[in-house]
Structure 1
Amino acid sequence: MTAAAPQHPLDPTIRPITGPDEVELFNQLPYPFNHEIADDLRTGRRRPEWLWVALHEGRTVARAGWWCRSGDEQPFLFDILDCAEGHGVTGRQLLRTALAAVVTKDAKPPQYVRLVPGDWREDPAARPGIDTLIALVEGEGARPFVERLRFQWTPGTPLATPDPRLTLRAVADREELVGLMTEVLDGTLDAHSHRDLQTMTPRRAAEEQYRDELEKYATPRDWWRVAVLPDGEPVGFVIAAKNSYHAIIAYIGVRPAHRGHGYIDALLAEGTRILAGAGVPRIRATTDLGNTPMAAAFSRAGYANFQREIHFDWS
């Protein structure tokens, strides 16, 4: 048997963390999710074997981390990748090693998602580091998928008055909501929905989103609202909820036949009103950069575009 080559003293040590006691080691590089890591480990949304570090002289110079939804057995998102300046080669080694260990052989890696400043392309302080991370994931076969706008509403922001044309009521049941979700996929501007529709029917796409996302929210179902005309015909719906971190507008849609009449504003105002009434400290929402009508609706409702997400997919 050939003996393993001895490690050079300057070579990085690349390994997963051993457990919650090494969260501080993992968090030596800054990122907005750092304050969530310990709780994510406790609740099973992250696992030590999914949190990798590259150490140089005892200091973390690169790291990679994966996240899952509660109850998942495999990682759902690759959402942490950081590399200290001057350690790009180590970052590449780390990513390649961690991907091979975390992702099941022959499986497609989870989508990579990175939070970035809204003006990251024009920001001389942010751009070089983000470009480094993009080069790392593209070097392992990832390609740009979509860029999304992140919005936030805070208490004290004025709420729109209810639209007198509409009545807002609770969603009747799963069947009603899945039916409405199926309809609003017609003409959708959402990149993830477009991708789903390449391989499945609108009905199946709606059912899977309901099962994999909406059904998992523990917040009250009577927060889910349908807007109806005086004759009872639904024009659209809004799903207000709390995920594991924030109050959110989880889903909002207008039926194709009723678009262009300003109903989206009434739906968004209702979802915002429900969450504001629950006393939440903030409300978060996201939409694709290309979905300009939805972005405009968030802006009209007083939501501030405070950040972006860039998504990369493996083919």
Structure 2
Amino acid sequence: MTSRRTHREHASAVDHTDLTLRPLTGPEELDLFCQLTYALDHELADDLAAGRRRPDWMWVALRRGELVARAAWWGRAEEQVPFLLDFFDLEDVTVGAQLLRTAIAEILPTGARPPAYNRMVPTDWRERPETRSVVEDRMTALEQTGARLLAERLRFDWQPGTPVPPRDRLIFRPVRDDDEILDLMAQVLDGTLDAHSRDDLTRMSAHEAAIRHYEDELAHYRSPRDWWRVATLPDGTPVGFVTPARNNYNPIIGYLAVLPEHRGNGYIDEILAEGTRILAAQEVPRIRAATDLGNIPMAKAFRRAGYVNFERTITMVWP
């Protein structure tokens, strides 16, 4: 995608202030970009080399040459538009909002819905005044561009050596094919507590939402699909499924759900245990997982299985 304006024109567009808003010229400007900091800074160089980030997806606001705000989007090497906004740091709310508006207008096709914003934050961010003000400033800047809070998610970590409960009532088999997993994914959207899924259902059918989730996430896992499991009763009746996997960074419990008619029977614990067991057998260094703050049954299941909530994620979206 070519920019609609040159870097010189970007600068002239803000000459009436002391700000310069522009994308990075290349990887050689990573030191400049990292004058503001975030826990994922160490991934930037590899992401650029792999095509998951591009210099024109990484923007800075400079005041008299000093970095005062930055934003960066993440995407897949084969795609022409980014998938996620995951870096956004600022020293001034108004400048941060201006940077986002300028970058979004350049990066995305006209009229396109901006990618969601995800930001990892400490579990106790609300209880620490200095951290709370920083998080809320970023959220305020995003709101000024039209974004709204979608969900706060709990991030979990499982460590090798943590006991995995044995099977009890359920039988597990591999997923037969794409049609089966898509059908199960559509069924579990009935009564879902997942905010992303509920948001999708405001704009599309359950089947369309399942396809979108599959294409956006499951189809890009770097691990064998024969790790995925359907949980059934002894007579073969499906009750749920789990997709243990590897993404670009970690082994994960990608998607876990119980069919509506089988909820409330405690099957979630066995399904999570099976997904954990499959990944543990690969001698992974950790397993990561996440669920919405409001999905209390899933959060409790992770804790019962020995997963530790080590972080949270703020997710904001545009209409």
Instruction: Give yes or no for TM over 0.5.
Output: yes
| Number of the residue aligned with 2:125 | 120
Shift in Å at residue 17 of structure 1?
0.8
Task: Say whether 1:79 aligns with 2:86.
Answer: yes
Q: Which of 238, 257, 261 does residue 257 from structure 1 map onto?
A: 261
Distance in 1 separating the partners of 2:264 and 2:149: 31
Shift in Å at residue 197 of structure 1?
1.7
1:208–1:13 distance in 2 versus 1, CA, 3 Å: closer
Alignment of 1:177-216 (within 5 A): 177-216=181-220
Distance in 1 separating the partners of 2:201 and 2:94: 38
Q: Which of 122, 126, 141 does residue 136 from structure 1 map onto?
A: 141
Distance in 1 separating the partners of 2:117 and 2:186: 27
Shift in Å at residue 226 of structure 1?
1.2
| Structure 1 letter corresponding to 2:109 | T
| Number of the residue aligned with 2:154 | 149
Shift in Å at residue 71 of structure 1?
2.1
Instruction: Specify the SS of the correspondent of 1:218.
Output: coil
1:188–1:92 distance in 2 versus 1, CA, 3 Å: closer
Q: Deviations over 1:225-247 (max 9, x none)?
A: 11121111111110000011111
Distance in 2 separating the partners of 1:280 and 1:57: 47
Distance in 2 separating the partners of 1:119 and 1:247: 25
| Structure 1 residue runs of 4 or more that deviate by more than 6 Å after TM superposition | none
| Structure 1 letter corresponding to 2:151 | V
Q: Which of 168, 173, 182 does residue 177 from structure 2 map onto?
A: 173
Distance in 1 separating the partners of 2:208 and 2:13: 52
Shift in Å at residue 294 of structure 1?
0.6
Distance in 1 separating the partners of 2:39 and 2:249: 12
Larger CA deviation: 57-66 vs 39-48: 57-66
CA contact (8 A) 2:18 2:64 kept: no
CA contact (8 A) 2:94 2:141 kept: no
| Number of the residue aligned with 1:218 | 222
| Number of the residue aligned with 2:70 | 63
| Structure 2 letter corresponding to 1:228 | T
Q: Deviations over 1:115-169 (max 9, x none)?
A: 1111211211201111111111111111112111111111122211222x11112
Q: Which of 116, 141, 144 does residue 111 from structure 1 map onto?
A: 116
| Number of the residue aligned with 2:5 | none
Shift in Å at residue 6 of structure 1?
9.7
Task: Say whether 1:270 aligns with 2:279.
Answer: no
TM-score calculated relative to the size of structure 2: 0.91
Task: Say whether 1:26 aligns with 2:33.
Answer: yes
Distance in 1 separating the partners of 2:94 and 2:250: 36
| Structure 2 letter corresponding to 1:167 | I
1:287–1:158 distance in 2 versus 1, CA, 3 Å: same
Distance in 2 separating the partners of 1:281 and 1:225: 21
| Structure 2 letter corresponding to 1:98 | A
Distance in 2 separating the partners of 1:295 and 1:313: 23
Q: Which of 32, 35, 42 does residue 49 from structure 2 map onto?
A: 42
| Number of the residue aligned with 1:293 | 297
Shift in Å at residue 193 of structure 1?
1.0
Distance in 2 separating the partners of 1:192 and 1:131: 21
Distance in 1 separating the partners of 2:198 and 2:156: 22
Shift in Å at residue 198 of structure 1?
2.1
| Structure 2 letter corresponding to 1:102 | I
CA contact (8 A) 2:93 2:140 kept: no
1:187–1:29 distance in 2 versus 1, CA, 3 Å: same
Shift in Å at residue 89 of structure 1?
4.1
1:96–1:206 distance in 2 versus 1, CA, 3 Å: closer
Identity across the alignment (%): 56
1:13–1:262 distance in 2 versus 1, CA, 3 Å: same
Distance in 2 separating the partners of 1:312 and 1:180: 27
Distance in 2 separating the partners of 1:144 and 1:6: 29
1:234–1:55 distance in 2 versus 1, CA, 3 Å: same
